[in-house]
Amino acid sequence: MKKIIQIISLSFAVLLLTACGKDWLDLDPKGTTLETSFYQNEEEIFEALVATYDVLQWGGTDGWTMKLGLLNAASDDCHAGGSDASDQPTWVAFDNFMMDPFLGPQSGLWRKGFTGIYRANLVLEKLETVEGLSDEFKARTSAEAKFLRAFYYFDLMRFFGNIPLINKVLPADEIYTQTQADPANIYTLIESDLNDARNTFELPETLPSSELGRVTKGAATALLGKVILYQNNESRMGEAAMIFDEVINSNLYDLEDDFGDIFTNENEFGIESIFEINHSNNQRGGWGNFGNGDTEGNYSVQFFGMRDYVGPDFANGWSFCPVTEDLVNLMQNDPRFSHTIIDGNMLRQQGASYSEGYQNTNYFIRKYAAFQDDRALDGEPALNWGNNVREIRLADVYLMAAEAHNRSGNDAEARSYLNRVRTRVGLQPASGVGAGLLEAIYRERQLELATEGHRFFDLVRTGRAGTVLGIQGFTVGKNEVLPIPQTEIDITEGNLKQNPGY
């Protein structure tokens, strides 16, 4: 595939680790070294592992392809937004489900995913061939690389459905011959990798401050449960429930007392966080290097902000992902509203101003809002937001556990987990059994996790996307996945086949 070819054929840039703490994943290029002569010791292999983590941050791959923003736009949480309908056509196409093999965010998402997989495969290969590595280093590094490979494969499966299975570094004569694998075989690899990771003794349960952002047992276990839940196999719901119970019963995580504290920069890696994607605001990046995570900033923050904003607290943004009026109406009396949604009308009444962008509703995302106090002091501020993405947090796990227990016949445990989430924000405990309880769990996920990028995949995996998103243009049997990028089909001379309907 063309994108994979580019990664394999170029000399690997040597990437060095910088400061500790939140920035342990920061990368500074320092020359180039041929891959064949570089990976000779633990330090160099660790740099390759850091480069594998680095792909998690990418948001400028073949356009603006931030998973968080794109999934919000595709769901009923948000519209695409921007300055006008031509601002980011790939986002608009995903929002109204008008993608085709040439139009949409698929190229960047495909490239990002397979770059991460290639880098993970490279790390795993070198761990087996380089001499002199300690057993502890090999075990932990392997566990982290397998988690990351599983993470990238899970994203690719959810976005595309039909993808090649590549679990080794491909020689040149095999690159063009790759074909799509049976999805069941992809999920087998994902689950195997996550089980290997979480059962590795050397993978820690907790991290020192100098390593925050690295994978833990809890992250691997939570992701495994999510992968099983997503496959929607009723016979495995009990298995998923037990896996989520492991995370919950570890007592390593707890709900934040104040829902509003979850997404503050001061509370990154808080007690509720199980896995975060690290971003940094100190890399001084600019427009010359904003592509594949080179700035290490969270571009979604800039996208979500109010365009031409003048007023207190918030910084200027680009008005993407305005919150839908349906979500506003649903959350109007919910105690999480003010921590989830910015009411632009209220700001205007207080003297603030902003320009109304495309699909404007006067409601904006609050959880990843651009605040003046968080602006980078160096480089281009728009590209250097340091807000971490809360990829997996305990409330999400509680609600996935509630669903799995309900669907495996344990309504009492399902209600217990559901009500922990509700009680945290002062809501009355929910009752109910069976299908009614399941619907309450789905509704709670929509409210608790609004604008966090979960909603679209939740609707797809539970078969409700056609009903909920049909008004946006969603076609059942087609829009559950994106089209395979046409460039990838062309470069393999048809070995890769297009998804149905495209």
**pLDDT tens profile 431-488:** 999 999 999 999 999 999 999 999 999 999 999 999 999 999 999 999 999 999 999 9
pLDDT digits (tens, 9 = 90+) for 326-378: 999 999 999 999 999 999 999 999 999 999 999 999 999 999 999 999 999 88
* H/E segment holding residue 14: strand 13-17
CA separation for the pair 197, 15 (Å, rounded): 25
CA-to-CA distance for 502 and 76, rounded, in angstroms?
23
CA–CA separation, 391 and 220 (whole Å): 12
The radius of gyration of the chain from alpha carbons, rounded to an integer in Å, stands at 22
**Nearest alpha-carbon partner for 142 in 172, 65, 134, 11:** 134
Predicted pLDDT of residue 9: 26
Q: What is the pLDDT of residues 168-201, one digit of tens each?
A: 999 988 988 999 999 999 999 999 999 999 999 9
Asked whether residue 25 carries a pLDDT value surpassing 90, the answer given is: no
Identity at 326, one-letter amino acid code: D
Left (φ > 0), alpha (ψ -120 to 50) or beta: where does 82 sit? left
Instruction: Categorize the per-residue pLDDT at 166 as very low, low, confident or very high, splitting at 50, 70 and 90.
Output: very high
Q: Which of 156-165, 281-290, 492-501 has the lowest mean pLDDT?
A: 281-290
Give the CA-trace dihedral at 208, 58, 190, 214, to 10 degrees: 0
Which pLDDT score is estimated for 173? 87
Chain centroid offset of residue 310 CA: 31
DSSP assignments along 462-478, one per residue: TT-HHHHHGGGT--TTT
- Residue 196, judged by CB atoms within 10 A of its CB (0-12, 13-18, 19+), counts as middle
Rounded CA gap, 152 and 214, in Å?
A: 15
Phi, psi of 317 (to 5 degrees): -135, -160
DSSP 20: S
Helix axes 2-9, 106-129, angle to 10 degrees: 40
Cβ-count burial 102-134 (b if 16+ within 10 Å, e if not): ebbbbbbbbbbbbbbbbbbbbbbebbeeeeebe
Calculated CA dihedral for residues 439, 440, 441, 443, nearest 10 degrees: 90
Indicate whether this model's pTM tops 0.85. yes
How would residue 33 be classed by pLDDT, with cut points 50, 70 and 90?
low
Tens-digit pLDDT profile for residues 103-120: 999 999 999 999 999 999
Nearest in space to 96 (alpha carbons), one of 459, 469, 358: 469
Our separate counts of H helices and E strands in the chain read 20, 6
Domains of the chain: 1-65+105-203+471-502 (1.25.40.890)
State which H helix or E strand residue 389 sits in.
Answer: strand 389-393
